[in-house]
Amino acid sequence: MKTNGLLRVLLLVAVVPALVACENSATAYSMETSQHALVLIREQSYFWDREVEQFVVAARLPHCQRKVKIHPGGTELTEMEVYEAGDRLWALHQGARWYLASTEKCLVQDWDNKDGQLPGAKVGSFRLKDGVPAFVASQ
């Protein structure tokens, strides 16, 4: 009986670090109300994964809400800048990639920003703040 108890403790000790190393985070940029937002979701299923699945949720409730998978990120969050690009249109810039997110129809797509011009005023960015993913508004 003592062997079973010891085995359970050892198994628990081995599993806990694996569970702690996974990332599952959701960080929101709310516009007019909490019902109107862009949300960056990051999910790492296993601690040994070198990439983290990323999604952007465009929401303008009760009219629409959609979760769209974007390109994976590294295990450490690469800053994603958010720019106002038009009426209910947002440009997202992460690393070398650009995305357009519409909260009019809740669409998110890759964007080839060929000329590299900034699409509008920067409203803030999704980044690590005190080691935790957060949306930080521009000053």
pLDDT digits (tens, 9 = 90+) for 40-93: 999 998 888 889 999 999 999 999 999 999 999 998 999 999 999 999 999 999
Q: What is the pLDDT of residue 15?
A: 53
Can you read off the two tokens belonging to residue 122? 């920067």
Cis peptide before 62 (omega within 30 of 0): yes
Q: What is the pLDDT of residue 135?
A: 97
Percent of the chain with pLDDT over 70: 85
Q: What is the pLDDT of residue 110?
A: 96
- H or E element, residue 5: helix 2-20
Percent of the chain with pLDDT over 90: 68
Q: How far apart are CA 87 and CA 60, in angstroms?
A: 13
Instruction: Please tell me whether residue 88 adopts helix, strand or coil conformation.
Output: coil
> Whose CA is closest to 107, among 75, 63, 52, 73?
63
Q: Measured between alpha carbons, how far is residue 131 from residues 71, 95, 115, 122 in Å? A: 22, 19, 33, 22
For residues 36 and 4, which has the higher predicted lDDT (pLDDT)? 36
Q: What is the pLDDT of residue 3?
A: 61
Q: What is the pLDDT of residue 1?
A: 52
Cα four-point dihedral sign 102, 94, 67, 26: negative
> Whose CA is closest to 28, among 20, 36, 37, 19?
37
Domain residue extents for the chain: 23-137
The average pLDDT across 10-27 equals: 63
Does the pLDDT at position 16 exceed 70? no
Amino acid code (one letter) for 123: V
Binned at pLDDT 50, 70 and 90, residue 6 comes out as low
Q: What is the pLDDT of residue 116?
A: 83
